[in-house]
Amino acid sequence: MASHRRPKQPSRARVTVLTATAAAAVALSAQAAHADPKPTKAEVKEKVDKLYAEAEAATEKYNGAKEQQEKLEKEVDALQDKVAREQADLNSLRGELGSIATAQYRSGGIDPSVQLFLASDPDTFLDQASALDQLTAKQTESLEKIQAKQRSLAQERKEAEAKLSELSEVRDALGANKKKYQKKLADARALLNTLTAAERQKMADDDARASRSAGTRVDLGNEVPASALGAAALANAATQIGKPYVSGGTGPSSFDCSGLTQWAYAQAGVAITRTTYTQINQGTQIGRSSLKPGDLVFFNNTEHVALYAGDNTVLHAPHPGAYVRYESMDTIGSFQVGVRI
């Protein structure tokens, strides 16, 4: 005879586990459905180029802070030396005043009329009295010198303290900008690591080809440098083709963008400042159509500087991982302004 017993119901615990498992499966499938697709090589390159540009902007601020720090350190050293000399002069004046006081004491602190009464030789007394008057006048002069020196010393110390405070702020800015560009470079490396090994190799090969082709002298055609100085600066920079880009590099083994332009002009006998933000104000600003070989060319809101080489081409230190090379202006970014030194 068939059994009429009711089937066994699943336990509460089993229902809970099944429900949770199902919910997790739904959540995972939903998450997979809404997950962002892996960026393409072109998208990664675009983001990496943007990070490199941001890193270069931070590098230029770092360079500016470093230059300011070096200047302030020299000023602080000079002020501290001056304070030390002022203190030595003050100590000398105080010693001189002490000698005068000793001479007065030895001449006797007796009332002059009593000294005259006791003196066996009035002429001798009068000579001593005259010497005492001279000592008193010299003491007054020394006191005035001491007071002036104390005021001067206090001012020098105040100025030195202000410079030290400014130096501390600059050092903080230096550290902050260094961390910023290091973070941007780390982000760029992380992005590149999302690509396959083959994709990364393709990007490296493309960049290497750009560097190799940059080794060939650019045909300037009929574009003549605006001056012998510009021609010399461009020729100097051309001797550095193939040198690596390094943040903070000023040559001769490596360069960043403004380090290369500064070095190139220095070899031509002209000192220009260290950063893009100051180099842009060093000469006459000109438009793109007026560029001549050797002119400075600024891009991307003063984040990057290069040397114009002719035929819509610049010679520059591009970005981390690249080398000093010629490159079309159309591939670098937005043209800002040219500057003729």
Give pLDDT, residue 204.
73
Give pLDDT, residue 114.
45
Check 4, 34, 304, 319 and give the catalytic one: 304
Give pLDDT, residue 338.
98
Question: Which residues contact residue 267 at a Cβ distance below 8 angstroms, ignoring those fewer than 6 apart?
Answer: 232, 233, 236
Check 4, 34, 257, 319 and give the catalytic one: 257
Give pLDDT, residue 26.
45
Q: Is 300 left (phi over 0), alpha (psi -120 to 50) or beta?
A: left
Is 319 considered catalytic here? no
Distances (CA, A) of 96 to 58, 84, 104, 153, 204: 56, 18, 13, 18, 76
Q: What is the dihedral of CA 314, 320, 324, 330, to 10 degrees?
A: -20
Mean pLDDT of the chain: 77
Give pLDDT, residue 324.
95
Amino acid symbol at 154: A
Distances (CA, A) of 24 to 28, 135, 228, 234: 6, 102, 74, 64
For the chain, which domains are there? 41-192 (1.10.287), 220-340 (3.90.1720.10)
All residue ranges of the chain with pLDDT < 70 are 1-37, 96-139, 142-143, 208-221
Is 304 considered catalytic here? yes
Measured between alpha carbons, how far is 256 from 277 in angstroms, rounded to an integer?
14
Distances (CA, A) of 193 to 40, 61, 261: 12, 28, 32
Give pLDDT, residue 237.
97
Instruction: Kindly state the tokens that stand for 245.
Output: 């880009």
Instruction: Kindly state the tokens that stand for 340.
Output: 């003729």
Give pLDDT, residue 167.
80
Give pLDDT, residue 32.
43
Contact 257, 317 (CB under 8 A): yes
φ/ψ of 212, rounded to 5, equals -65, -45
Is 257 considered catalytic here? yes
Q: Max alpha carbon distance in the chain (Å)? A: 162
Give pLDDT, residue 232.
97
Distances (CA, A) of 232 to 14, 272, 325: 84, 14, 17
